[in-house]
Amino acid sequence: MSLPAAGARRTDAGMGMGQVSSWSRDIRFGSGLILLTFVTLHLLNHAMGIFGVVVMERAQNWRYELWHSWPGTIALYGAFIVHPVFALVRVAQRRTFKMPLREMLQIALGLTIPLLLVDHIVSTRVLGSYFGVDESYRAVLRRLWPDRAILQTVLMLLVWTHGIIGIHFTLRSRDAYRYWRDPFLLGAILIPLLALIGFAVAAREVQLMGMPSEHASVAQTAMFERDVMWAKGSFYGLVGVFLLFIGVREVRVRMTRQITVRFVGHGTRRLAPGPTVLEMFRRFGIPHAALCGGRARCATCRVLVMDGIDKLPPPAMNEARLLKRIAAPEGVRLACQIRPRDDLQVQLLLASRLKAGVVKVFEPDEAIGKRGLTVMVADLRAFSSLSERQQPQELIGLINRFFDEMSQAITAHDGRIDAFYGDGFMAVFGLEGPKARGAQAAVTAAADIVRAVEALNREFGAALPLPLRIGIGIHTGEAITGAVENDNLGRREITVGETVMIASQLESATRRVLADVVVSEETIRSTGRNYAGTTSLKISIRGREKPLTSYGFASAPELVRRKREDDAMPPTPAEKAAGEAPAEQHGSGGPG
């Protein structure tokens, strides 16, 4: 089926909705950042209470200069109005309320916060502006402690949790986030904890000061009650308007025409136009991926539009930018950003299997990302000939010992074995720490592996028709890491990408170049070290026009001897004899 051109006829209504969704998301995020910045500074000011009320008030003076200025006031209260309004717009745009639990939690927090926050704002900023009520920490703490301390604590935790959830799920799809996700989590825990401690310490200090109690005038009380009632009434009245809008819209769409949407592999559905394709997945329990929750910040919900793309609006700014970044082919769109108003046929590109009878949203691993890693691929040579001459019990016992030794050699150098296959395995280095450390660890682990193979030869020598030999390929480059899940196999950490393919081809080349270990030039350069006695090689790599410069390390006995010299360990007599054998028996050199 040919795909129509992307510039064909589009529905104006759908285009408008897409554009609104795009820029309203940016406004909502920007206003949320302003509010979270205010809350963070406020909590850090609370934390100063650990050192006493005087320190809190000194920090408060600096904070007041920022937020009580005209630019600060406009930014703060503008964000305080804009953020909930556009958040309600986001909720009103939903055509299904089947969503992940964390989205439900964030919406519930957003609706609960005004119940407690309005009272705090009116009793401090509003009354302070109109009646000159003391807004210093001493006065505010005296009013809050101890009768309203629990409500204040709950308010602080609600606001902080709501903001942190929003930031986390906004940034977790970015590759750079994995580097500072742990510090971010630490700060998300420490800041409110220190704020609570400072709040309690300073409040007890104020209580011991014996300050005279305050008496609110009739005018102050009346204004407080009026403003709180108007503020809460306005917000929840706005919520009611949105609910009424949603109700009227649902009645209206059910009385209008329906469209047919075919989900390749998941049947055909008829429904009223309006929901995004992602919302359709959720409504009908179709397994799907949606890392960012449908905000056009990731591309995990992308689909291939096989029919009906000419009737869809063009991608809005955020969707177009993301599709360009991932070099999406023609016909690929984000399911969270398209609202079909005519018949459509789509195919999921990133789906998830579901257990029987369970409907859930597939949430990809948060640690997914591309990073600089060193990949090692190793394989026993002539294993087929060996297996033909061994008894099954002996062969399986040998393989168990081999994999046990390999696992120890890899984990001792902070590597991770991603896969065992037959008589070989793939390992990854550099998952933690800089790329240079991972490259060095891989080369050192290769020497330990060769040593382990020689130890196995000594242990099983009498029972083996021919000695064990191993080929190892090592390459450093960008690779994609993450976790995949399967009902039968469970959860597995995997590494994929061109780096894995090159390491595998370097391992295959060890047979041709008569070297037991072949390491790419990129890995050698990443280690920052010089390795004497290596042979420069040019290895042809499938898919690349130019050969890859690599280095063939010495044969297995020679590599063991060098490893022992590096470790200041004398070689055993057997290893010494093996190392002095003619080079052509061990393949110590390259092809000339």
Residue 360 in any domain: the answer is no
Q: Using the structure block, give the residue that is written with the tokens 């297996």.
A: 387
Q: Which residues contact 73 (CB under 8 A, 6 or more apart)?
A: 67
Q: What is the dihedral of CA 185, 191, 193, 196, to 10 degrees?
A: -160
Is residue 358 domain-resident? no
Surface-to-core class of residue 274, CB atoms within 10 Å of its CB (0-12 exposed, 13-18 middle, 19+ buried): buried
Euclidean distance between CA atoms 119 and 7, whole angstroms: 53
pLDDT reported for residue 2: 36
Write the CA distances from 433 to 173, 179, 182, 343, integer angstroms.
21, 10, 14, 51
Q: Is 3 among the domain residues?
A: no
Residues 179 and 33 in one domain: yes
CB neighbours (10 Å) of residue 316?
22
Q: Are residues 246 and 306 in the same domain?
A: no
What is the total count of domains within the chain? 3
Task: Report in angstroms the alpha-carbon separations of 69 from 64, 73, 278, 571.
Answer: 8, 6, 43, 76
Residue-by-residue DSSP string for 119-161? HHHIIIIIHHHHH----SHHHHHHHHTTTTHHHHHHHHHHHHH
Residue 354, domain member (yes or no): no
Please work out, in degrees rounded to the nearest 5, the angle formed at the alpha carbon of residue 170 by the alpha carbons of 33 and 344. 130
Strand 332-334 to 302-307 pairing? antiparallel
- Please tell me the predicted confidence (pLDDT) of residue 590: 34
Q: What is the CATH classification number for the domain harbouring 334?
A: 3.10.20.30
In DSSP terms, which residues pair with 238 in a beta bridge?
none
Residue 363 located in a structural domain = no
Q: In angstroms, rounded to a whole number, what is the distance separating the alpha carbons of residues 513 and 322?
A: 44
Residue 249 sits in the same domain as residue 264: no
Task: Report the candidate in 30, 19, 38, 17 with the shortest Cα–Cα distance to residue 170.
Answer: 30
Q: How far apart are CA 251 and CA 244, in angstroms?
A: 11
Dihedral sign computed on CA atoms, order 382, 386, 387, 389: positive
pLDDT of residue 384: 65
Residue ending a domain, among 348, 378, 394, is 348
Q: How far apart are CA 224 and CA 480, in angstroms?
A: 57
Report the CATH number that the domain containing residue 155 is assigned in CATH. 1.20.1300
Q: Which of 319, 348, 377 is the last residue of a domain?
A: 348
Rounded to whole angstroms, how far apart are CA atoms 211 and 53? 13
Q: What is the layout of strands, in order, in the sheet containing 302-307?
A: 267-271, 259-263, 344-348, 302-307, 332-334
How buried is residue 490: exposed, middle or buried, by Cβ count under 10 Å (0-12/13-18/19+)? exposed
Residue 584 belongs to what H/E stretch? helix 583-586
Residues 130 and 238 placed together within one structural domain of the fold? yes
Provide the pLDDT for residue 362. 44
In terms of domains, do 268 and 145 share one? no
Last residue of a domain, one of 253, 288, 306: 253
The whole domain housing 172 covers 12-253
Helix (H) or strand (E) holding 392: helix 392-411
Same domain, 474 and 561: yes
What does DSSP say about strands 344-348 and 259-263: parallel, antiparallel, or unpaired?
A: parallel
Residue 353 lies in a domain: no
Write out the chain's pLDDT in tens, 592 residues. 333 333 333 344 444 444 445 577 778 888 889 989 999 998 999 999 999 989 998 988 888 888 888 898 899 888 888 888 888 777 777 766 666 677 778 778 877 887 777 777 766 666 655 555 666 778 888 877 888 888 888 888 888 998 898 888 777 767 677 778 888 889 999 999 999 999 999 988 988 887 766 666 677 677 777 777 887 788 788 788 878 877 777 777 667 768 888 888 788 888 878 788 888 888 888 877 777 767 777 778 888 898 888 888 888 888 888 888 878 888 899 988 888 888 899 988 875 543 433 444 444 445 566 788 999 999 887 666 666 666 666 667 777 778 888 888 888 888 988 887 777 889 999 888 788 889 999 998 998 888 888 888 777 766 666 778 889 999 999 888 777 666 556 667 778 888 899 999 999 888 888 888 999 999 999 988 887 778 888 888 887 888 898 998 865 445 555 555 555 545 544 444 444 433 333 333 333 2
3-class secondary structure, 492: strand
Query: Is residue 231 located within the same domain as residue 121?
Result: yes
What would the 3-class secondary structure string for 58-70 be? HHHHHHHHHHCCH
Indicate if 285 and 240 belong to the same structural domain. no
Examine the domain organization and report whether 177 and 318 are in the same domain.
no
What CATH number does the domain containing 487 carry? Answer: 3.30.70.1230
The reply to whether 267 falls in a domain is yes
Whether residues 238 and 265 share a domain: the answer is: no
Is 532 exposed, middle or buried, given 0-12, 13-18 or 19+ CB atoms closer than 10 A? exposed
Name every residue whose Cβ is closer than 8 Å to that of residue 584 and which is 6 or more positions away in sequence: none
Same-domain status, 268 and 215? no
- Residues 233 and 103 placed together within one structural domain of the fold: yes
Cβ atoms of residues 415 and 445 within 8 Å: yes
Q: Where do we find the tokens 């129509």?
A: 4
